[in-house]
Amino acid sequence: MYFLTGWPRRLLCPLRSEEEPFHIQPSSQRFYFGVLSETQLSIWFSRPSVLIVSYIESAKAAAQFGFYQKAEWKPDDSMIAVATAKGYILLFDVLGRGDDKSLYEPVYPKGSPRVRATPGYKEEQCAPALSLEMKKPVDLEAPITSLRSLQEDLLVCTADGYLHVLHWDGLGSNGRKAICLSTIPFSLDLQSARGGPSLDLEGVYIRCMEYCVTLDGFAVVLSDGRLGFITPLSNTITADQLQGVWAADVNDGTCVAVNNKYRLMAFGCASGSVLVYMIDTTTGSMQLSHKLELTPKHYPDIYNKTGPVKLICWSPDYSVVMVTWECGGLSLWSVFGAHLICTLGEDFAYRSDGTKKEPVKISSMSWGAEGYHLWVLPIKQERREQQQEEEAEQQQKQEEEEEMATPPQPSLQAGILQFHFIKSALTVNPCTSNQEQVLLHGEDRLYLTCGDPSQVHSAADTHPHTHLHPPDGSPPHQPPDPDSSLSQGLSTLLGHKHWHVVQIHSTYLESNWPIRFAAIDTAGQCMAVAGRRGFAHYSLFTRKWKLFGNITQEQNMTVTGGLAWWKDFVVVACYNYIDQQEQLRLYQRSSNLDNAFASVTKLHSDTLLLNVFRDMVIVFRADCSICLYSLERRNDSPHPTASVELLQEVSMSRYIPHPALVVSVTLTSVRTETGITLKAPQQACMAESIMLNLAGQLIMLQRDRSGPQVREKETPANNKKLLPFCPPVVLAQCVENVWTTCRSNRKKRHLLEALWLSCGEAGMKVWLPLFPRDHRKPHSFLSRRIMLPFHINIYPLAVLFEDALVLGATNETVLYDGLQGAAEPLEALFPYCTVERTSQIYLHHILRQLLVRNLGEQALMLAQSCASLPYFPHVMELMVHVVLEEEATSREPIPDPLLPTVAKFITEFPLFLQTIVHCARKTEYALWNYLFAAVGNPKDLFEECLMAQDLDTAASYLIILQSMEVPAVSRQHATLLFNTALEQGKWDLCRHMIRFLKAIGSGEMDTPPPTPTTQEPSSTGGFEFFRNRSISLSQSADTIAMGKFNLQKTFSMPSGPSSRGRDGECPENMYIDMMLWRHARHLLEQVRLRDLGCFSAQLGFELIGWLCRERNRVARVEDFVSALKRLHKDFLWPFPVIPGGSISSPLKNGRCRTVLSTRLLKSQSADSLLNSDMDTAPSRAASSNNTWLDGLGQRSKDMDAASSSHSNQHSPQTHDAFLSLLTSKGNQARTAFSNPPEDMPLSYSPSAFFLTPPVEEYSVGSATDLTETSSVVDGDWTMVDESSSTLSLSQAELEHISMELANKGPHKSQVQLRYLLHVFMEAGCLEWCVVIGLILRDANVIKQVIGFLDSPEVPQDTVQSVQSGLLAVDTWVSTDCLGYKPFLNLIQPQLQDLMDSAAEQVQPEAFQPSSQSSKLGGSEGPGGAAAPRPEDGRGATAPLGLALPSLEPAGGFPRPPSEDCPPEQTEELGEDEGAYDCTLS
């Protein structure tokens, strides 16, 4: 509404004086301010705020008349009356200079357009030069207590009990009347007034008096503290024609101020509160409307220590009132008592170090023009004495030092404080209430809540024409911002706390200050402002203002009834000075601002208010009539125009006593019971009723549908007559603002067809429609609408109907600790004030009110319509929380508690369980029993969560159970939840549960559970390594074998929950370990290797150590074929296929085909088909026959080239080929090639590198997911002959290439399988190694495992299991999966060895590993050809073996060897110093 902003400004009087100003009085338009000190009358101008003229009384006259006390302006600003202490009225003429000279004139820079354009309007931007002349004084022979101007009269109250009526002009004896107060009859109401005076007024006089135009009477405070209201019974004020009423039971009144717009009288009392009275229209008695007082809740220190009320000041638009007390301070309330600002608390009253400030005491205050400023005269008496002493000392010093005159000290100059305010556009232009934006305006800027135009949603539904590009080049919609998740709506209206501030054009402000009206369009993209003359508008699209091109047109109109936006037109109700008539004008936004492009309609009476509803304009006029006009857009001319047609006129003079009392007029589609059915939502589009806010009373006029209804089809379109309106009905009292919308939404009819009211201290009210459910016939006794009150914590400025939100603003303060000394600067006295955007949910209030009234069905319909809102869970929590706090903390027993009803209501929604637990966790423990008595036992709710698979909510219930139940119960439930979380793979929850179970076990029930000793999986832990990997494992074994690649030290087996530490042996850890082991066993039994890997990585489970223990138990493979199938399924690995083309291959020779397939398979597993002597490093001219394990001991720096390009190891020679299998009509596979890697040296590129596309059609067996960044082509299948630079592949070879490609699974799966292979190798689970070797089709792995099977440590049944498993696989391959046949053929020699060795039953001690295969430096790997080791010469190598110590996190935590490998192996490693032996424990 009104908000304080910035720091106050101090205006210093240029005339040095010992006198303090103590009274300020504004002229009627508030452009001039009369300021009184004891012998001086000064007149100040408002903008610029400068002193114009001062009249200083001579000492002789001051002795005769006494000091000045009060002042009053004549309504036309031509005279000013001053009351003096000895009972004189001094009248001054305020004269302007005749020579058009100004006191202050603006100086423009050279070439400024304003100088040339406005020769005749200079005086409006200047401070005029005035002079004061005293006329003959009038002696009233008694001290003057009050001075009020009334049209042509001046009313003066004196301390001898008389009321004097003086004429401003004829101040002779004939212009004077004196009425004795004791002759005026006073009674409690006008009906009992005829019984003669009922109040003894002997010796009583009027202490303070104000005239109220709309009540036509005087509000008075009598000298005995009584409050009264005096009404003249006829037009003239004479003694026998006055009648008084007084307020019962009040006798401590101090001052009064009247509100003409709302017909209220605010009386200040000695108790510190302000009583606001209204006059009862039927009896004429004074009725208390509401009180304005500080509450002990918000102002505990000061609420009863303020002293008597000193001054009350209504703002110029009568929407707020400012109050100050004897002890000082300022407080602002809205008209019906919503408290906005108070300077007696918080940062206004305390410094940042906590010390209390003295509140500023105020002798007089007045609002400036349009309420943008508050002029305040502070009392500085106490400080003056100190300052005078200090000054005297300073003066002496300075005089001694130099003989110059001292500069005037600002501390002793008379100072006026000017507080700055920004206010809501609703206060003067209430037509903005149907918008969903908040618009505030200060004297030179606008504050908007709407978002950036680049984020605005398509406004096509509200603006049917915005898709046309306006001629001014402003785009109708800019593309939505990519960063904004929601386009308009909530994100822009609530997304941040900052305002969009638009500076009003200075050229317009200079000649038309102050801004009187402001409006914003529905989309929040266009603003219009109107000042003293003309108007201007602004577009957020173009960021430009549009002003009248012709200044004469601007100055010849003044906006009277406000302005509004309709589509892309500004609708203005204005007065035309040339034609001297009222007009309704529409200006198109994109056209130039000129009357030539305006649609003008003449109006017959002054317009006071206007509003827009759909394509209609409603106008309220000074003759108390309402006119409805229809608007239609015309595009026939080059500039679009609008045609306006009068639809209907409604006279309201019978119901409206004074036109100034109408605060707002709104056309709505809201109706009472006549037409609310679910079948007729189209009536939401029609203008059904008029809402009038008449001095705070909301009056509704509905269309009269009682007569014969003519169907729309039967009436011709041109003479469709609108229905008349019924007599008005009063809907609500004390209404400040009304919001309604013209949109309709079938899903949210409750919210969109409701009427929203803001009612001051009473909060808000909503007039909600009640709909029958499921097309049932409504109950005859059930009302069709209901008025529900609810309280909110902010002052509402806009309502978002569908989003169930109220938007507002609030004052915030920032402390500034300035220079603290004897004379504190203003910055230290007052904090810096800012205005913050706020919003509040109101849905829970409405649902609760409906439940209280047993309208649960309506509440359910309303809640279901809003269930999709993002904060709906919060709404539910709030509802439970508020009811719980009220009922559980109530001292009296509650006869009909609401909490069970609320609980039952919430069970209708799926978020019932989480609502209850969130509410409980935000409520203190003492209230839990009351809550769970209503909603159910937490154990049952926990089990419900488990059944509903809502584990996170179940975990929250566990915390409640921990507090409410014994440890055994919470342990039992925690175990249940832990097992479920393990099964579902909720790893975060599992980690929390481990910590929770430890905390329960160690008895730390009340303390927060300690951080577990488990290392977080982000630092170590299996599969986490692949998430943050710094290497690529896309290469297959042959690429690793090339010696350019190694596994960096990136991961190690993390030490799990059973880490051997101080708590390794305690029972809780054993208990947790048992559960983890059980789950791992369960996963392995079900052949869920992928889940096992995730489980190990996420929970830091020691997989290798556990597998070592389980090697001969659960870590066996019962059925090789089903295990292989399950791995294919889990890792999305395609079964290998033999291409159909190979059967009808051009290579008739079978041997040739087999060779190719063998070579291709070798290339994938271990062999490179590219000659090594093309390699860049001569030291690497090695055969490519290294095993997978041989490549692991390398330094990490060798892999930069490999990992950076993710290419094959031969990227210097070959292009990185991506084969994309595009299946076209003929099912032809085409090959597409990627560009070579950027880091490839071009000198090594082959001169011609191509693949001939296949001619023959064939089907592709399995085009699988060729994902991730790695090169799709993982094997090296580019066969280059040294002698020839080109190479053509035959079709069969090409088919093999594409098949090999299709036979590989996703890169990620390959990485995971390789990792699992390493884990099983290290743990010695050879059967699993065989299965993974088969799926990867890695011959080296199979060779290696079969080599290990000869070891004496390998149990015989493992050997037999591998044999029988491989035989089973062979059988399955022959019948069901021929794709594996080439691979089995490749490893045939090893399989044969295995069968033979089994047949021979070799004795264990006969097995002696050869030095070549057991020593790292040996030239032969376990199953490959001889290979020189180039890295040996480069430094220490990591030992290779079943336990791979190189697989540790970079800079990570090396495991103690005893953890992962058995002691015997450790000893041997020590003896052999980096060698490895095939002995297995």
Residue 494, pLDDT score: 60
Q: Is 485 exposed, middle or buried (0-12, 13-18, 19+ CB in 10 A)?
A: exposed
142's tokens: 């008694």
Does pLDDT of 594 surpass 90? Answer: yes
Residue 433, pLDDT score: 73
Instruction: List pLDDT tens digits, range 1108-1135.
Output: 988 888 888 889 899 999 999 999 999 8
> What is the crossing angle of helices 967-984 and 951-964, to 10°?
170
Per the DSSP assignment, residues forming a β-bridge with 350 are: 356
Coil/strand/helix, residue 536: strand
Does pLDDT of 1462 surpass 60? Answer: no
1132: DSSP letter: T
1477's tokens: 């032996």
- pLDDT confidence bin for 168, thresholds 50/70/90: confident
Does pLDDT of 913 surpass 90? Answer: yes
Q: Which of 378-382, 422-426, 1258-1262 has the lowest mean pLDDT?
A: 1258-1262
- Measured in degrees and rounded to the nearest 5, phi and psi for residue 301 equal -80, -30
Q: Which of 621-630, 1104-1113, 1222-1231 has the lowest mean pLDDT?
A: 1222-1231
Does pLDDT of 74 surpass 80? Answer: yes
Residue 124, pLDDT score: 55
d(CA 1027, CA 681): 55
197's tokens: 């005076």
d(CA 1031, CA 1025): 10
Q: Which of 100-104, 674-678, 854-858 has the lowest mean pLDDT?
A: 674-678
Cβ(507)–Cβ(549) below 8 Å: no
d(CA 1311, CA 1315): 6
Share above pLDDT 90 across residues of the chain, in percent, rounded to a whole number? 44
Does pLDDT of 858 surpass 60? Answer: yes
Coil/strand/helix, residue 1448: coil
Strand-strand pairing, 186-187 and 242-246: parallel
Q: Residue range 415-433: average pLDDT?
A: 91
Q: Which of 100-114, 1040-1054, 1316-1330 has the lowest mean pLDDT?
A: 1040-1054
Dihedral, CA atoms, 95, 98, 99, 104, nearest 10 degrees? 20
| Amino acid in position 1048 | Q
- Measured in degrees and rounded to the nearest 5, phi and psi for residue 171 equal -90, 25
Residue 1071, pLDDT score: 85
Q: According to the 3-state scheme, what is the secondary structure of 665-707?
A: EEEECCCCHHHCCCCCHHHHHCCCEEEEEECCEEEEEEECCCC
Residue 1355, pLDDT score: 86
1118's tokens: 């019962």
The residue among 466, 462, 459, 457 whose CA lies nearest residue 487 is 457
- pLDDT confidence bin for 780, thresholds 50/70/90: low
Cβ(536)–Cβ(545) below 8 Å: yes
> What is the crossing angle of helices 899-906 and 843-852, to 10°?
120
Residue 974, pLDDT score: 92
**What average pLDDT is seen over the chain?**
76
User: CB-side exposure of 594: number of CA atoms within 13 Å?
Assistant: 8
How many helices (H) and strands (E) the chain has is answered by 37, 60
With a CB cutoff of 8 Å and minimum separation 6, the contacts of 405 are none
The residue among 243, 202, 31, 15 whose CA lies nearest residue 130 is 31
d(CA 299, CA 292): 14
Cβ(1332)–Cβ(1311) below 8 Å: no
pTM of the predicted protein model: 0.75
Cβ(1053)–Cβ(1105) below 8 Å: yes
Q: Which of 209-218, 666-675, 1369-1378 has the lowest mean pLDDT?
A: 666-675
Does pLDDT of 536 surpass 60? Answer: yes
Share above pLDDT 70 across residues of the chain, in percent, rounded to a whole number? 69
The residue among 133, 104, 201 whose CA lies nearest residue 161 is 201
Q: How many CB atoms lie within 10 A of CB 815?
A: 17
- pLDDT confidence bin for 388, thresholds 50/70/90: low
Q: What is the largest distance, in Å, between two alpha-carbon atoms of the chain?
A: 148
Q: Residue range 868-881: average pLDDT?
A: 94
Q: How many CB atoms lie within 10 A of CB 397?
A: 11
Helix or strand run (H / E) with residue 554 = helix 551-555
Residue 1190, pLDDT score: 39
Residue 823, pLDDT score: 59
Q: Which of 446-450, 596-600, 981-985, 1421-1425 has the lowest mean pLDDT?
A: 1421-1425
Residue 687, pLDDT score: 79
Q: Residue range 1222-1234: average pLDDT?
A: 32
d(CA 242, CA 231): 6
Q: Give 341 or 1433, the one with higher predicted confidence.
A: 341
- pLDDT confidence bin for 960, thresholds 50/70/90: very high
Q: Which of 155-164, 485-494, 573-582, 593-602 has the lowest mean pLDDT?
A: 485-494
654's tokens: 């019978």
Residue 99, pLDDT score: 67
With a CB cutoff of 8 Å and minimum separation 6, the contacts of 540 are 450, 452, 453, 500, 502, 524, 525, 526, 527
- pLDDT confidence bin for 722, thresholds 50/70/90: confident
Q: Which of 344-358, 906-920, 1317-1331, 1399-1413 has the lowest mean pLDDT?
A: 1399-1413
Per the DSSP assignment, residues forming a β-bridge with 377 are: 364
Does pLDDT of 68 surpass 80? Answer: yes
143's tokens: 């001290």
Strand order in the sheet with 785-790: 737-739, 755-758, 764-769, 785-790
Helix or strand run (H / E) with residue 1406 = none
Q: Residue range 1375-1390: average pLDDT?
A: 87
Helical H runs in 936-1022? 938-947, 951-964, 967-984, 987-1001
Instruction: List pLDDT tens digits, range 453-481.
Output: 444 443 333 333 333 344 444 444 433 33
- pLDDT confidence bin for 833, thresholds 50/70/90: very high
Q: Residue range 1045-1069: average pLDDT?
A: 46
Q: Give 680 or 34, the one with higher predicted confidence.
A: 34
The residue among 372, 406, 410 whose CA lies nearest residue 11 is 410
Instruction: Using alpha carbons, list the distances in angstroms from residue 250 to 211, 266, 387, 471.
Output: 20, 13, 42, 66
The residue among 314, 333, 331, 315 whose CA lies nearest residue 323 is 331
Q: Which of 799-813, 950-964, 1248-1262, 1393-1407 has the lowest mean pLDDT?
A: 1248-1262
Q: Is 369 exposed, middle or buried (0-12, 13-18, 19+ CB in 10 A)?
A: buried
| Amino acid in position 136 | K
Cβ(404)–Cβ(475) below 8 Å: no
Does pLDDT of 500 surpass 80? Answer: yes
- Sign of the CA dihedral with 1083 first, then 1087, 1091, and 1093 last: positive
- pLDDT confidence bin for 1438, thresholds 50/70/90: very low
Instruction: List pLDDT tens digits, range 9-21.
Output: 999 888 777 888 9
Q: Give 760 or 1210, the one with higher predicted confidence.
A: 760
Q: Residue range 846-864: average pLDDT?
A: 94
d(CA 1326, CA 1418): 24
d(CA 752, CA 744): 6
With a CB cutoff of 8 Å and minimum separation 6, the contacts of 752 are 684, 741, 743, 744, 745, 801, 802
d(CA 87, CA 68): 10
Does pLDDT of 724 surpass 80? Answer: yes
Q: Which of 328-342, 864-878, 1310-1324, 1397-1411 has the lowest mean pLDDT?
A: 1397-1411
